[in-house]
Amino acid sequence: MALVLHSGMPNKNAFKALIAAEYSGVKIEVVKDFEMGVSNKTPEFLKMNPLGKVPVLETPEGSVFESNAIARYVTRLKADNPLYGSSLIEYAKIEQWIDFSTTEIDSNIARWFYPRLGFVPYEAQSEERAIASLKRALGALNTELATKTFLVGHAITLADIIMACNLGYGFSLVMTKKFTSEFPHVERYFWTLVNQPYFNKVMGEIKQVDSIPPIQSKKPSAQPKEPAKAKEAKEAKKEVPKPKVEESVEEEEAPKPKPKNPLDLLPPSKMILDEWKRLYSNTKTNFREVAIKGFWAMYDPEGYSLWFCNYKYNDENTVSFVTLNKVSGFLQRMDLARKYAFGKMLVIGSEPPYKVKGLWLFRGKELPQFVFEECYDMELYDWTKVDIADEAQKERVNAMIEDQEPFEGEALLDAKCFK
C-alpha cells in the first residue's frame, strides 16, 4: 500500500512530512475530505492513534503518529538522505534543532495564540511569559543564523523543514512584522525557505499577519429553564430562615497582584537613572566636563553598581559584522532591564580577532538575578565589579562612557550604547 496521511488541510504539522517527501522522492497520498471532529473519532482512526490527534501516517508496516516522528520516518525511507546530514555530528545537530523548534518555538507560539482564540483560558501573565520565552528563543536562533543560510551545513535539512513549518504558524497567525523585525536573520531565513519550490508547493503562499488576534472568550452555554414546580419549591425553601455561617472557603479569591521586581523594592536612590540618560544623550560637546562630571555627581554607590564585562570567547570574533551582530543581539535581549540599567559596549581592534568589552550600570549592589535568568548572553561574559576607589578603574569607566579612542591602545571598531 502507498503511504497515506490522515489530516485536515492546511495543517503545519502535516506539511513537515509532505515537504520531506518532496525532497526525498517519496509519494504520500493525503486522505480526501478529512473532517476534524468526525474522521478522527472513528474506530478505524482511533486504532491508529488512540488520542484521536492528527496527523497520522498509515504505512505498510503500521501507523505512525506525532508529526516529527512521521517526518523522520519519511526522510529515512531514502538511503543516505542529505536531509539528515553527511556526518554523525550533522545528524546530532539536526536532531538538536528539531527539538529546539518544538520545545522553544512551537510551544511558545501555541501558548501565545491558543488562549487568544479561547481554546484555553486567557491569562495576561501567562501570555507575557510565553512572549518573553518566545523572544528569548528567537534571539538565540537569530544569533545562530547571523552567519548561516541554513541551520546545519550548507543545504536544507529536516531541521529547516520543521523549523519553517513551526515558524510559519507564528508568522501567519500572531507574529507581526513589528514583532519579527527584532530578529532580522530569522526573517531572512524564514522567507528564504518558504519561497523554495518544494516548500511553496506544499505550504502555498505565506502572508504575515498584520495584527495580533483579539482576545476571544467562550461564552457559557445558557442554563436550561427550571420547571415551574421546582422553581416554586426552591422559592419556598428560600423563605425558611437559616442561621448565619461562615462564607465558603471555595469562594473565588481576588486576583493576586503581579509580583514586583525585586529592584523596585530597594530603598530609594538619590540617582535618577533617566536624568543621567538624558544628560548623556544631550551632551554634544565638552563631554568630559559636562557628561562625565555630571555622571559622578549623580552616581549613588548605595543604590547602583558599576560592572565591567569581557566576552569570554573573543578568539572566535574573526568576522567584523558577525561580532557586531552578537553585540546588537545582546542589547536587544537586554530590553527587559531598560528601566534598571545603562550600558556601553565596545568592539575593539582594527583586525581580527576583535575584542568585546563593556561597562554596565545596574540598579542595586549586585548583578540583577532576573536579567541572568532571562538573558542568556549574560553568561557569555566575565563580570567584574568596578572599585570606584581605584582611580585607574574610575578612569576606565570615563573612557568607556566617552568612547575614547584609542581604547587601551587599540582602535575602536564600534561603540554601542544601551539606554
How does pLDDT run along the chain (419 residues), one tens digit per residue?
Answer: 689 999 999 999 999 999 999 999 999 999 999 999 999 999 999 999 999 999 999 999 999 999 999 999 999 999 999 999 999 999 999 999 999 999 999 999 999 999 998 888 888 889 999 999 999 999 999 999 999 999 999 999 999 999 999 999 999 999 999 999 999 999 999 999 999 999 999 999 999 999 999 987 554 444 444 554 455 545 544 444 444 433 333 343 444 555 678 899 999 999 999 999 999 999 999 999 999 999 999 999 999 999 999 999 999 888 888 888 889 888 988 988 999 999 999 999 999 999 999 999 999 999 999 898 888 789 899 999 999 999 999 999 999 999 999 999 999 999 999 99
Both 66 and 118 in a single domain?
no
Do 70 and 21 reside in the same domain of the chain? yes
The verdict on residue 235 lying in a domain is no
Q: Which of 203, 236, 259 is the last residue of a domain?
A: 203
Is residue 24 included in any domain, yes or no?
A: yes
- Flag whether 298 is in a domain: yes
CATH number of domain containing 69: 3.40.30.10
Q: Is residue 214 part of a domain?
A: no
**Do the domain assignments include residue 320?**
yes
CATH of the domain at 301: 3.30.70.1010
| Judgement on whether residues 69 and 142 belong to the same structural domain of the protein | no
| Total count of domains within the chain | 3
- Name the pTM for this structure: 0.55
264 within domain boundaries: no
| Residue 243 placed within a domain | no
Based on the domain organization, do 8 and 62 belong to the same domain?
A: yes
Q: Considering 203, 225, 257, which residue would you say is the last residue of a domain?
A: 203
Same domain assignment for residues 187 and 324: no
Answer yes or no: is 263 within a domain: no
Whichever domain contains 169, its CATH number is 1.20.1050.10
Domain coverage including residue 117: 106-203
User: Same structural domain for residues 149 and 111?
Assistant: yes
Q: Are residues 174 and 279 in the same domain?
A: no
Do both 49 and 134 map to the same domain? no
Q: Are residues 295 and 410 in the same domain?
A: yes
* 409 and 287 both lie in a single domain: yes
* CA pair distance 12, 18, nearest whole angstrom: 10
Domain boundary among 76, 93, 123: 76
| 52 and 114 share one domain | no
Nearest-angstrom CA–CA distance, 161 and 156: 8
Task: Say if residue 118 is in the same domain as residue 190.
Answer: yes
